[in-house]
Each structure stands twice: as C-alpha cells, then as structure tokens.
C-alpha cells in the first residue's frame, strides 16, 4: 500500500576515542562522503538524529544543533532514542515518514561521543537505562545483565567459554581489516579466553567498546530513487519487538523475547526465511549476545548457535556471515551510531565495496540488521534487498 | 496515497508539582481514562514515548520503562525528543508509522517530571538545549532567549508591556476553569504587569511553569477507526519547520522562521487557510511567544497581533480562540507532555467536552496545534478536523 523506501547512500566516521572532534564534527565526517556524492543539503527534505545518551556531552536537543552545523537549518528534524537500538529506531521512524508521504528524502544520522567522560562514568550512564528504581540503585550495569544471560546459557547448554572467545576472535579478525574500526587488531583465542574478568563469566574480550563515532544513511521514496543512485538497497522488512523491562521478569535468559518477536515480524513483512539471508549485522554488545542472536534470528536452533561458531559459518565465506566489519566488539559501539553503521555495512557489502577482498561477502541479495537496546527491551530488525 | 490517521481517544494527568508520583505513575494516570474507555493494552500495537529531558530524573531509555509499567511489555516502542516540541514530534513519527502501514493502533504518551530538581537546576537543564559551546557557557537561558525577542518586538512595533500581560490574564482566566491546570487561578492585569522581573522585559507572569505531568492520545489507521469511536478527530495537516540553532543567526527576532515554514506546510497539506481554523493551541512558553504565534500562523499581519489581544478575539467566544485551557502559562508546561496535552484539548473541544461552558468553544471543525522547541529551532504544526 505505502510506497517503498530505499537506502541510496551512506557515510561513516572513523570510530574510536575521538577527542579530536565534537559531536557535530563527527556528524559532519559521516555526512561528508554523502555530500561528496552529490547529495547536497538542498536535496534533503528532513533529518532524523539518532543520539542515545545526551548526558555524555550534556547537550540537549541535539537534532537542531547537528542540522544547523551541517547546513540543514531549515529542514524539519527530530531526535529518536531507544538506548543501543536508537539507530534502527530512527530508521523505523524515518521509514514511516517517507512511506507515508510526509517526506521524500531523509538523512538519518547516528552519533555518540562517550569518551569525554571516564569509562566508569560511561558505564554508569548506560546503567541508567536499567530501571532507575529497581535495578540501577542495586548496582547492576550492562556487563552484569549480559553476564547473567551468559551464566544461564553456559549452565543450560554446557557451553565452554572458548566458544564465546571464538566470536571475539572473529570480530577482531574483521575489525583489523576495517579502516573505520576502533580497535583494528587481531587477537588470539588464548588472549581472548584468558583476558581480565569484567563480570564473570564475561572478560575484557567478551565486551564491546566505549566508542565515539557517527554514521549516516540517506533514505528515499521509490519514485525518487533513480535521481540518487542506480544501486539502491530496498527496505524489505521491518520488525520491532520489546521485552520486559527487568531481566528478572523474563521467561528465559537464553533468548531475548523481543528479538524473536522482531525477527518474526521482519521475516513476515519481507516474505523471507532465515535461510534466505546472505549476511547479518548483529548486536554483539557482548559475545554472548551474538551467540543468542544466531538463535533468535533462526540461523540455529536454541542451544545450537555454537555450531555456527565452531564451523566458522559466521565468517565472510561461510553459510551466514555475521559482523564481517568487526562488530561492536572491534569496530566499536557508539550507541546512537551503531544501528546506522550496521546498515551502512550492508550497503557496502551489497555494492561489493567492502574495504578488502578478505572481508567481502559474495553476492549479497538479502542482508539483515539486528539491533538491540538495553538487555533486550528494544529490538529492531531490518531486512534489506539489493535493488540492482 | 497513504491512509488517513485519526485521534480516537485521549487522557491527561493532573498537571502540577507532582512529587506524589513518579514518571511511570504520571503516565499511568494519563493512560487510565483511555483504558477505562475500553482501549486495553491488547488493542494497542505500539507506543511512542514523548519525553524531552531524561536528565530531570536520570532515567535513560524511558520508553521501555513506561511500556513495561503500563502492561505493554511486548509492544514495540521508541522515544522521540525535540525539546519543548517533543510531543508533536512524537505525533509526527507515530503518524508516519501508522500511515505507512507499520502499525494500526498507537499510544502516544507524553510526560515530564521537572520538579524533582530545583527551579534553578531545571532552568539550567533546559538551557542545555541551547548550543553547549556557543550559548550555554555564556549564561543564556530560555527566559533570556525570549526576552531578546520581546525586546526586539517592543522596539520594532512600539508594543506596551500591558499587551503581553493581557495574554497572561487570559491564560489564567481559562486555567482557573481547567481542573488539570497547574496554577488554576485568575490574575488581574495589574498583578500580571507589575510582577517581579525574571529577565527584562519579561516578568514572572510572562513565563510559563515548571510542571510535572503526562498526557496521552491514541492514533488509529482509518480502516480501524470505527472499532474505537464514532467521534474521531482526523489529522488533516502536518507541517514541520526549523530555524537556525543560534538566535543571533536569525534574520528576524519578531517572527520564528521555522513556525512560518511549518504553518505553510500544514495549511498546504490540509488545503486550508488561517481563516478556516476555529481554535488554536499555541506554544506560549512566554507571553511574547503567543503574540508572535498569532502572526506566524497568519491569524494577524506582522506587528498586528496585539489587535487580537486588545479585541479579545483570542477568548473562547472570539474570532480565533487560543489556549482556552490555560496554556503553558497556567495549565503548565511539562516539556514532553505539552504537545500531547494541546492535542487532547482540541479533541475535548471538538467533542464539546470542555470542563465548563465558560471555556467551551462552539462548533470546532478545524483545530490547530502549534508546538515550538527551544527558541524556535523545532516547530511542529498539526491541523485536526472533526470527523463527526
């Protein structure tokens, strides 16, 4: 019924500890390649800013600031926030505004700057996305939420920690080949398995990074796509799900109910099955989260995700390549930018523009983004289709 | 092309200094009348939370918290933020998601709790919606932004301050008749004109309130409206605009460029003219803002807004009734709730359900909401049409 929407262009800043730049400058860095492609400000109707946690910088009402700095002063804008799933929540809102006819061309910009405060303060700010009355005051932070899931998974399925480490090894293997990555270095299985504990059973290499960075994509209504590109990536399916606020209320800790709900909705809208997906960008905020994602997305049966890892099916030349850009673990996880960065990576892979042949996935017809907020309270899943 | 969307129900908490309640409880208070009307959780597909400034309470990722508390755990949700225009930005996002076919029935909840910190701290938090590098550090806060506009208006059009006070007198006249209002008391012109200065030329009665409260509306796709009500209020026009981030960059201070842009877009989409509008809810964060709104919305020529005031055309029985619920000045201004509260008021007026005949506007066919963020960087305008 509604008109179709395509991603026609993307941009990405260097991820890292970016004390050389402000939030607005990171956004400009992500927009610049888009501008250089000829998508100048006058061609953009409106923007959505994906910015999760303004407390990191103290700046409120960021969408006006960013729009102003990018020369988009007179274009309608708004900010969306859904914790770590902010990027795809912004895309969901933008999709609606375009498909419904409100706008034809939108710039969706994701950004976060997390390193202007200490890691401890950053961890505390993120913990405030837990329940401020019933979780945060008792000291639970995000490594702890996911450590609970990991403990339960390990106990239910008798999982050796090395399987989680193998996921981190893969992330770093690909991050090392991604010039935008925050921590572009290989790690060995031994290093990953024996690293310093953060929250048992999770160690340093099971945890994603506290990163500064920005990413951007341009969404366009179908009638206008040809003005922008002959290599569009169509939004084929969108699914959103939600889970109980407090982890204690969940029926299970080895799966995220909202992720299964979102996957079902996205596959249904796309008319596709897990088998049809050629690559996925999943939300590996912790190694256990990636393992659980394989199962929630239907790439493996419950408890069998480890087979994907052990058989290296998740590598760029495997059955279901996952996070061949380094993922949140090695590329980095600037909250508001993450979901947009995932989308950007699928666009690049579809276009055959991965930075090196050694991380280029072949013939991507359908790519999937899995973006999770908090410990699963928000989940957005997008399925994209190559349009060329 | 896209399907139409209607407002089918609304709810409103008591506005005020609500230290008796938390954010989640305020939301429940706004949802309760909707629930009591039979729109139970199972009938809602997804929610949008309109919540401007989570720093007031420290709670991040509020949409999960609120959805959970209201028994909507398994419904997709996201949060929108556009400073003081957050309510209508949320409605704009929700409209898109419904009109595009993603969801049929959405609950849009607006909330803010601003009184858990001191007024000085609240004013400081709001000031962070100014540019954190180029405005905030130099001490400019919102009364000052609007005092600059007022000074310029007074100087350009030789406006006596009493005209601004007459606007405040009207707001309090109607707020006194609104059981949900924060400060439901009449004030005399003398009191309003001679009150203690806040930021000259604006005094205490020129400034809106620091308020806690929540408001909610339910939006439904046209095919489903009949299941919910035989008295729908259709979204007829939506316009959004934006202005330069810094007030110093604006071409004029006696008008808000983004408001004129938003009005033009909303009238165009609705196929209506200013003359067709039977009532308006405008963003009177300061008395001068209401005066400027008359002109930006085309109810008066530039510089002539005072005639509306002096002739009492803005009263409930006048040519263009404005803020006959007390407005931000007397009803109150809980940032995220404000735009939703305005929408709720139009629904009530259209249905002939204003609390008292002495503030009931007759035969409202078209109502307009004008919701401004910061000093005009965000503006959303909605035009609603009675559907019964």
Q: pLDDT by residue (tens digit) across B354-378?
A: 999 999 999 999 999 999 999 999 9
Structure tokens at A227: 């003005």
On chain B, the residues whose CB falls within 8 A of the CB of A240 are: 46, 76, 78
pLDDT above 90: residue A128: no
A354 to chain B, closest Cα gap in Å: 31
Does A96 map to a domain? yes
Mean pLDDT of B60-87: 92
- The DSSP secondary-structure symbol of B19 reads T
Cβ contact A245–B2 (<8 Å): no
Cβ contact A93–B82 (<8 Å): no
| CA A227 from centroid of its chain's CA atoms | 28
Torsion angle, alpha carbons of B337, B338, B343, B348, to 10: 90
Q: pLDDT by residue (tens digit) across B332-359?
A: 999 999 999 999 999 999 999 999 999 9
Mean pLDDT of B233-243: 97
> Peptide bond preceding B203: is omega within 30 degrees of 0, i.e. cis?
no
Does A49 map to a domain? yes
Cβ contact B97–A92 (<8 Å): yes
Residue linked to tokens 């080949």: A177
C-alpha distances out from residue B65 to A275, B61, B79, B81, B86, Å: 34, 7, 11, 16, 18
Region class of A19: left (phi > 0), else alpha (psi between -120 and 50), else beta: alpha
**What are the helix (H) ranges across chain B?**
23-36, 62-69, 86-99, 119-127, 142-157, 161-175, 189-193, 257-270, 287-296, 305-310, 327-330, 335-350
Nearest chain B Cα to A22, which residue?
B133
B43 to chain A, closest Cα gap in Å: 16
Cβ contact A240–B65 (<8 Å): no
Q: How would residue A328 be classed by pLDDT, with cut points 50, 70 and 90? A: very high
Residue A158: Cβ within 10 Å count? 9
| Best CA proximity match to A91, nearest among B238, B96, B242, B270 | B96
B134 to chain A, closest Cα gap in Å: 11
Q: pLDDT by residue (tens digit) across B193-207?
A: 999 999 999 999 999
Cβ contact A241–B76 (<8 Å): yes
Cβ contact B81–A80 (<8 Å): yes
Secondary structure element (H or E) that encloses residue B378, with its range: strand B378-386
Q: How would residue A123 be classed by pLDDT, with cut points 50, 70 and 90? A: confident
The pLDDT score that the predictor gives to residue A321 is 98
On chain B, the residues whose CB falls within 8 A of the CB of A101 are: 1-2, 99
User: Is B147 strand, coil or helix?
Assistant: helix
What percentage of chain B exceeds 90 in pLDDT? 89
Beta bridge mates, A107: A47, A218
The pLDDT score that the predictor gives to residue B67 is 94
Probe site for chain B from A45, A51, A78, A95 (most B CB atoms < 10 A): A78
Q: Look at A32-41, B7-16, B72-81 and tell me which has the smallest mean pLDDT.
A: B72-81
Nearest chain B Cα to A261, which residue?
B74
Across the interface, of A22, A64, A102, the residue whose CB is closest to B378 is A64
Q: pLDDT by residue (tens digit) across A253-274?
A: 999 999 999 999 999 999 999 9
Does A218 map to a domain? yes
Probe site for chain B from A27, A47, A60 (most B CB atoms < 10 A): A60
Number of structural domains chain A divides into: 1
Residues 6 or more apart whose CB falls under 8 angstroms from that of B294 comprise: B282, B300, B305, B308, B314, B320, B322
Helix B142-157 × helix B119-127 angle, to 10°:
70
B185 to chain A, closest Cα gap in Å: 32
pLDDT above 70: residue A319: yes
CA distance B40 to B32: 9
Give the domain range for residue B53: 5-117+210-227
CATH classification at residue B41: 3.40.47.10
Q: What burial class does residue B56 get, using C-beta atoms within 10 Å of its C-beta: 0-12 exposed, 13-18 middle, 19+ buried?
A: buried
Cβ contact A102–B92 (<8 Å): yes
Cβ contact A79–B74 (<8 Å): no
Region class of B65: left (phi > 0), else alpha (psi between -120 and 50), else beta: alpha
- The DSSP secondary-structure symbol of B274 reads G
Q: Look at A311-315, B86-90, B123-127 and tell me which has the smallest mean pLDDT.
A: B123-127
| Best CA proximity match to B85, nearest among B385, B386, B376, B384 | B376
* Reduced 3-state DSSP string for chain A: CCCCEEEEEEEECCCECCCCCCHHHHHHHHHHHHHHCCCCHHHCCEEEEEECCHHHCCCCCHHHHHHHHCCCCCCCEEEEEECECHHHHHHHHHHHHHHCCCCCEEEEEEEECCCCCCHHHHHHHHHCCCCCCCCHHHCCCHHHHHHHHHHHHHHHHCCCHHHHHHHHHHHHHHHCCCCCCCCCCCCCHHHHHCCCEEECCEEHHHECCCCEEEEEEEEEEHHHHHHCCCCCEEEEEEEEEECCCCHHHCCCCCCCHHHHHHHHHHHHHHCCCHHHCCEEECCCCEHHHHHHHHHHCCCCCCCCHHHHHHCCCCCCCCCCCECCCCHHHHCCCCHHHHHHHHHHHHHHHHCCCCCCHHHCCCCCCEEEEEEEECCCCEEEEEEEEECC
What percentage of chain A exceeds 70 in pLDDT? 99
Cβ contact A68–B245 (<8 Å): yes
Q: How would residue B1 be classed by pLDDT, with cut points 50, 70 and 90? A: low
Does B13 map to a domain? yes
Question: Which residue out of B84, B199, B285, B324 is catalytically annotated?
Answer: B84
Structure tokens at A352: 């055959």
Beta bridge mates, A219: A7, A106
Does A12 map to a domain? yes
The pLDDT score that the predictor gives to residue A358 is 97
CA distance B220 to B232: 9
On chain B, the residues whose CB falls within 8 A of the CB of A113 are: none
Q: What is the DSSP string of B178-236?
A: -TT-SS-----HHHHHTSPEEETTEEGGGB----BEEEEEEEEEGGGGGGT-SS-EEEE
Nearest chain B Cα to A93, which residue?
B93
On chain B, the residues whose CB falls within 8 A of the CB of A97 are: 92-93, 96, 100
Q: How would residue A1 be classed by pLDDT, with cut points 50, 70 and 90? A: low
Does A138 map to a domain? no
Does B193 map to a domain? no
Does B273 map to a domain? no
Q: Whole-structure pTM over 0.80, yes or no? A: yes
How many interchain CB pairs under 8 A, A with B?
221
Cβ contact B58–A128 (<8 Å): yes
Structure tokens at A112: 């976060």
The pLDDT score that the predictor gives to residue B73 is 85
| Contact present, B218 and B43 (Cβ < 8 Å) | no
Probe site for chain B from A1, A22, A47, A64 (most B CB atoms < 10 A): A64
| Best CA proximity match to A321, nearest among A338, A333, A309 | A309
A241 to chain B, closest Cα gap in Å: 5
On chain B, the residues whose CB falls within 8 A of the CB of A46 are: 240
Cβ contact A67–B244 (<8 Å): no
A129 to chain B, closest Cα gap in Å: 4
Nearest chain A Cα to B97, which residue?
A96
> Peptide bond preceding B96: is omega within 30 degrees of 0, i.e. cis?
no
Catalytic residues of A, which ones? Answer: 84, 333
On chain B, the residues whose CB falls within 8 A of the CB of A244 are: 68, 73
The pLDDT score that the predictor gives to residue A125 is 85
On chain A, the residues whose CB falls within 8 A of the CB of B243 are: 73-74
Nearest chain A Cα to B335, which residue?
A61
The pLDDT score that the predictor gives to residue B321 is 98
Structure tokens at B330: 């007397």
pLDDT above 80: residue B55: no
Cβ contact B63–A378 (<8 Å): yes
CA distance A220 to A105: 5
CA distance B133 to A25: 13
When the pLDDT of each residue in chain B is averaged and rounded to a whole number, the result is 96
Q: pLDDT by residue (tens digit) across A216-241?
A: 999 999 999 999 999 999 999 999 99
Q: pLDDT by residue (tens digit) across B246-277?
A: 888 999 999 999 999 999 999 999 999 999 99
B307 to chain A, closest Cα gap in Å: 30
Residues 6 or more apart whose CB falls under 8 angstroms from that of A342 comprise: A87, A88, A281, A369, A371
Q: How would residue B172 be classed by pLDDT, with cut points 50, 70 and 90? A: very high
Cβ contact B64–A92 (<8 Å): no
| Contact present, A169 and A329 (Cβ < 8 Å) | no
The pLDDT score that the predictor gives to residue A129 is 82
Three-point CA angle B19, B20, B23, nearest 5°: 75
Nearest chain B Cα to A55, which residue?
B55
Three-point CA angle A148, A115, A85, nearest 5°: 50
On chain A, the residues whose CB falls within 8 A of the CB of B126 are: 60
């Amino acid at each position: 019924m509604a008109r179709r929407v395509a991603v026609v262009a993307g941009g990405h800043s260097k991820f890292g500890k970016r004390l050389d730049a402000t939030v607005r400058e990171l956004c400009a860095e992500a927009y610049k390649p888009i501008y250089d492609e000829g998508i100048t400000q006058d061609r953009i109707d409106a923007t959505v800013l994906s910015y999760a946690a303004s407390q990191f910088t103290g700046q409120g009402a960021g969408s006006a600031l960013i729009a102003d700095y990018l020369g988009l002063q007179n274009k309608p804008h708004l900010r969306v926030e859904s914790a770590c799933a902010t990027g795809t929540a912004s895309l969901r809102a933008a999709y609606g505004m375009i498909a419904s006819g409100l706008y034809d061309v939108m710039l969706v910009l994701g950004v976060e700057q997390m390193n202007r405060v200490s890691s401890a303060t950053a961890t505390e700010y993120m913990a405030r996305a837990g329940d401020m009355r019933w979780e945060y005051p008792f000291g639970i932070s995000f490594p702890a939420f996911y450590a609970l899931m990991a403990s339960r998974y390990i106990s239910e399925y008798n999982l050796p920690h090395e399987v989680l480490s193998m996921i981190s090894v893969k992330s770093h293997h690909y991050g090392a080949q991604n010039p935008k990555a925050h921590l572009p270095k290989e790690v060995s299985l031994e290093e990953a398995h024996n690293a310093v504990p953060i929250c048992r059973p999770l160690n340093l290499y099971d945890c994603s990074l506290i990163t500064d960075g920005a990413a951007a994509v341009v969404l366009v209504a179908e009638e206008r796509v040809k003005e922008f590109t002959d290599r569009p990536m169509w939004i084929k399916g969108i699914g959103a799900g939600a889970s109980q606020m407090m982890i204690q209320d969940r029926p299970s800790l080895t799966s995220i109910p909202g992720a299964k709900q979102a996957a079902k909705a996205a596959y249904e809208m796309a008319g596709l099955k897990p088998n049809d997906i050629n690559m996925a960008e999943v939300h590996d905020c912790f190694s256990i989260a990636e393992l659980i994602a394989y199962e929630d997305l239907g790439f493996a049966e419950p408890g069998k995700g480890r087979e994907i890892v052990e058989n290296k099916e998740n590598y760029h030349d495997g059955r279901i390549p996952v996070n061949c850009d380094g993922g949140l673990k090695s590329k980095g996880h600037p909250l508001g930018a993450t979901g947009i960065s995932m989308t950007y990576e699928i666009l690049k892979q579809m276009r055959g523009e991965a930075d090196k042949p050694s991380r280029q996935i072949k013939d991507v017809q359908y790519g999937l983004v899995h973006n999770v907020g908090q410990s699963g309270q928000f989940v957005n899943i997008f399925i994209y289709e190559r349009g060329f």
